[in-house]
Amino acid sequence: MAVKTLTIDGTLLSAREEQTVLQAARDAGIAIPTLCQLDGLSTVGACRMCLVDIEGTGRLLPACTTRVAEGMVIHTKTERLQSYRRMIVELLFAERNHICAVCVANGACELQDLAIEVGMDHVRFDYLHPECSVDISHKRFGLDHNRCVLCTRCVRACDEVEGAHTWDVAGRGTAARVITDMAQPWGTSETCTSCGKCVQACPTGALFIKGMTVAESRKDRSEIGFLVTAREKKQWVV
C-alpha cells in the first residue's frame, strides 16, 4: 500500500494512493461540502460543490474525482471557493421550486443543510418557477420534480447497486429530468424492483415514501454505502 503525503488547508497528512482528495480530507476530519457524491456510488463530479484549489494545476478540480498525489497542496475553503459554493446552492434554489416549509424532507434535506453551510440567507438570482410534475403512480414511492437537484444519485444507486437501471436522465440543460424506464409513469415501470434504494439515496424530498409524515421521513442515506461495503468486503458494518 503506497502512501502519499499532501497538505490540505495547511495540515500535512498522508493518504493511500488510491484515495481521492475528498476521502483523504474526510479521514483527516476536514469537511468539504458535497451533493452528488454518496458513499457506495461512483463519482461523477457534477455538482461542483467539492471543487478545491490545488496549487500548480491552474484550475479548480472536484475533490471527489481527483486522486491524491505526492506533495499536493490543497485549499478547500478559500474565499473564492466559498463564494462559488454559495452561488451554486443559490442557482439550485432558483432553478426548481424548493419550498422547505411544505417539503416532506424539511429538516432532513441535504440541500437545506448546504444552504445553511454556505451561509445562504437569500437567493440573489431570479426564481425560475418551472412547472414541474409529481409522479405518485408507484405503489410505495413518489417523485416530485419540484425538489429534484439532478444529482443522479438515484440513477447510480439503481444502476450500480440494485442493477435495475430503472432511472436515467432525459432532456438537456435546465429542462433535464430524471425518468423511469422510457419516461413513463414510475408505477408502470417493468424494471423497478421497488427496492427503495433511490429513495434512500435522494438528498432532498424529490423521492419519498408515500404516506409518511415529515417527522417520519428520515432517510438512511448511508444504506447504499453499507450495502456496497458488505458486498465488496464482506464487512457488515456501518
Quick one: which of 17, 130, 163, 191 contacts another protein (CB under 8 A)? Answer: 130
Site for another protein in 180-209 (CB under 8 A): none
How many residues bind to another protein according to rule CB under 8 A? 57
Contact call for residue 227 and another protein (CB under 8 A)? no
Contact call for residue 114 and another protein (CB under 8 A)? no
- CA 76 → CA 87, 112, 127, distances in Å? 16, 21, 29
Instruction: For residue 96, count other CB atoms closer than 10 A to its CB.
Output: 23
Contact call for residue 31 and another protein (CB under 8 A)? no
Quick one: which of 10, 56, 173, 211 contacts another protein (CB under 8 A)? Answer: 173
Distance CA 238, CA 234 (A): 12
Least CB distance to another protein at residue 108 (A): 11
Contact call for residue 71 and another protein (CB under 8 A)? no
Contacts with another protein, residue ranges (CB under 8 A): 44-48, 51, 59-62, 65, 83-84, 87-88, 91-95, 97, 99-103, 106-107, 112, 115-116, 119-132, 146, 149-150, 152, 168-169, 171-176
